[in-house]
Amino acid sequence: MVRGSAQLQRQVWKRPKDSIPADYRRERMTRWRHEQVCTRIDKPTRLDAARRMGYKAKQGVVVVRTRVRRGGLRKGKIHMKRKPSKAGIRKITMAKSIQRIGEERVARKYPNLEVLNSYWVGEDGKHKFYEVILVDPSHPCIKVDPQLNFLGNSRHRGRVHRGKTSAGKRGRGLRNKGKGAEKLRPSLATHQRRGK
């Protein structure tokens, strides 16, 4: 584990293949592959990223590592008379990102907690690994925290399933701000679907 200032840790995680030894990464991925799909961990692997996403080392805040498959959707061959290019088997991607899928799986596993955010921690040939920050909105420590007590509001219930996390907002096209983004809000379906 890399120790030091948050800025140094961020530089290391920008190019982990150059900064973290290959045998250590390989051993860690092997360990993670043999864990359960959603594994609760004591502390974040990337403390700098977790803090940027709102993590606090206090009661009521939980970190869960999740494993999601990589790659696009693979569809079966359509046995109909058509051009091979129109068969629609390869290069089909989901509207949701893999990170959002991981967040939603963790939210279903822990129904009494709300997803605050998530960040990438690694990938191998078959899987991507994310750490998801969960918050217990009914915990007394969270209720008195001015940065986290908004999750106790009923409008934030099930926020991950409605694209309210950072990854969800990216998928909804709300990250782009400024000129040219006037048609994006409140959703991509408004303004004759001209958002994307």
Which domains, from first to last, does the chain contain?
6-73+82-158 (3.40.1120.10), 165-196 (no CATH)
Q: Residue 87: in which H helix or E strand, if any?
A: none
d(CA 92, CA 136): 37
CA 102, chain centre distance (Å): 6
Give 50's contacts (C-beta < 8 A, 6+ positions apart).
Answer: 44, 63, 119, 131, 133
Are 173 and 191 in contact by the 8 Å Cβ rule? The answer is: no
Sequence-ordered list of residues with C-beta below 8 angstroms from that of 172, at least 6 positions apart, any chain: 163, 187, 188
Compute the distance between CA of residue 17 and CA of residue 21 in angstroms, rounded to an integer.
Answer: 7
One pLDDT digit (tens) per residue for the chain, 196 residues: 445 577 777 777 777 777 778 888 889 999 999 999 999 999 999 998 999 999 999 999 999 999 999 988 777 777 777 787 777 777 777 888 999 999 999 999 999 999 999 999 999 889 999 999 999 999 999 999 999 999 999 999 999 999 999 999 888 878 777 777 777 777 778 888 776 6
Distance, in Å, from the CA atom of 44 to the CA atom of 109, rounded to the nearest integer, reads 19
Output the CA torsion 160→161→166→170 (10° steps).
170
Rg of the chain over all Cα atoms, to the nearest angstrom: 19
